[in-house]
Amino acid sequence: MAPTLYMFHESPPSRAVMMTAKAIGLSLKLKEISYLDQDNLKPEFLKLNPQHTVPILVEDSGFTLWDSHAIMTYLVSKYASNDSLYPKDLQKRAVVDQRLHFESGVVFSRLLRITRPILFHGRSTINEEDRNNMLEAYSFLESFLQGTKWAAGDFVSVADYSLVASVGSIAALVPIDGKKYPNVAAWLKRVEGLPEFEANRKGHDAFPGLFKGKLKAM
């Protein structure tokens, strides 16, 4: 039986896992929960994940795992026919891990600093500090992509899925200047051309709609 993924289409981490599953040919049983309706705080959800975050993977055996980065690397390690998305070579894997930590600790963290106050606390503007912090994250990614096509080197990895889900989403609120960040802009187009990006598209396209009527600038 296919593993179950509790997810929210507009959630970048959910979409990163969905892209990974599509890339390795793994069918997932999707169960969408609404963050806006606070489904994630219901008792039955908290039993699955006391951190009340999505995505959550539940195997038929009952094994339960959350955090998109842990889920992606687990799925590749268990179900993929090869290790191309998460190499066994220690140095290549270390670079992929670094990019995943960068997405989690820098990009997604800064995304949340912008989005949560708007969605849940009535803020109607993006303050200059948060905007500049996101632009700094773009500049870091720009340097990572210098001389290479993909986030962790010359191969597509789970780091590309994780980063494109977040960067491609927050760009709707903090636009990416293609002249200032040409490597990032070119990388986004390359990732969007991958077949597995289709698993990301619905949420990617819906993400800006979460903020309509909430931001003065939109």
Active site residues: 11
From residue 77, alpha-carbon distances to 24, 52, 55, 85 in Å are 10, 25, 18, 9
Length of the chain, in residues? 218
84-to-155, 173, 188 alpha-carbon distances in Å: 8, 33, 20
Distance from C-alpha of 8 to C-alpha of 93, rounded to nearest angstrom: 28
Token duo for residue 113: 């600093």
Which residue intervals of 24-157 are DSSP H helices? 43-48, 68-79, 90-102, 109-120, 128-144
* Buried b / exposed e along 53-65 (16+ C-beta atoms within 10 A): bbbbbbeeeeeeb
Beta partners for residue 6, in sequence order = 31, 56
